[in-house]
Amino acid sequence: MSERIFITGIGTGVGKTVTSACVVEALQADYWKPVQTGLKEGTDTDTVKSLISNPVSVCHREAYCLEAPASPHLAARLEDVNINVKRILELAHSIQPSNRSLVIEGAGGLMVPLTEQVFTIDFIQQLEAKVIIVAQNYLGSINHALLTARVLKQHAIPVLGWIFSGEYHSNETEVIGWSGYPLLGRIPHTGLVDRAFVKEQAEKLSLW
């Protein structure tokens, strides 16, 4: 089935890219990072490409690759680039596979601005995508996670559920309960993240 699944996070650096690779592998879906910011340490697309092993998935080229490791609206300003959301939506339409899903990874969390007018939450709405929320357990994550859940609810965006990246903490059981969204799985931080790890984790996810 050809769906759009948007991978958002309760913030940046919470494990969206590694989780995206696991979801792509589990669904044999395509992957797309429309706006990549920060190029020095490589791109999320290159990371996902290096972590998946199924013969079907296609990792599509970004719509924008911006140097500065910053919010897209700022990274674009620093390079005098105008992020055109209409163009990104047209691109989404053109790359959408007919017979498999498209996993789309955002930059940071829901309220990250793509432009001064369009925030990531607005972009998700315009994409008509379903959402997987990637979360981690740290001091402050209850607030970040429930803010994310609240904004998705207020925008009536369909949420498939949570994937937690890292170790379990009792907080997450309460966050899941308060949010009403199901737990789809956990990606442990056991050290080496390679193709074998991603394949193993992909098999454990309960995505449908």
Residue type at 91 in one-letter notation = L
Residue type, 137: N
Compute the distance between CA of residue 83 and CA of residue 63 in angstroms, rounded to an integer. 9
Ranges of H-type helices in the chain: 16-27, 44-51, 72-78, 85-95, 120-127, 141-154, 170-179, 195-204
Q: Which two tokens stand for residue 64?
A: 């924008």
Are 66 and 79 spatial neighbours (Cβ–Cβ below 8 Å)? Answer: yes
Instruction: Determine if 16 is a binding residue for ligand ATP (CB under 6 A).
Output: yes
Positions 46 through 75 that interact with ligand DNN (CB under 6 A): 69, 71
Pairing relationship of beta strands 30-32 and 102-109 according to DSSP bridges: parallel
What would the x/- binding string for ligand ATP be over residues 90 to 119, using CB under 6 A? -----------------xx-----------
Is 33 considered catalytic here? yes
- Is 10 among the residues that bind Mg ion (CB under 5 A)? no
Residue 81 DSSP label: -
CA angle 3, 198, 103 (to 5 degrees): 20
Residue among 5, 8, 10, 17 that touches Mg ion (CB under 5 A): 17
Q: Is 13 annotated as a binding residue?
A: yes
Is 108 labelled a binding residue? yes
* Identified binder of ligand ATP from the candidate list 4, 9, 162, 175, rule CB under 6 A: 9
In terms of CB distance, is 136 or 179 closer to ligand ATP? 136
Of 150 and 189, nearer to ligand ATP (C-beta) is: 189
Known binding residue 107? Answer is yes
Taken in order 42, 48, 52, 58, the sign of the CA dihedral is negative
The one segment of 15-23, 79-87, 93-101, 169-177 that binds ligand ATP by CB under 6 A: 15-23
Q: Counting contacts by CB under 6 A, is residue 120 touching ligand DNN?
A: no
Q: Which of ligand ATP, ligand DNN, Mg ion, none does residue 165 bind to, with CB < 5 to 8 Å depending on kind? A: ligand ATP
List of residues contacting ligand DNN (CB under 6 A): 12, 37-38, 69, 71, 107-108, 112
- Active-site amino acid positions: 33
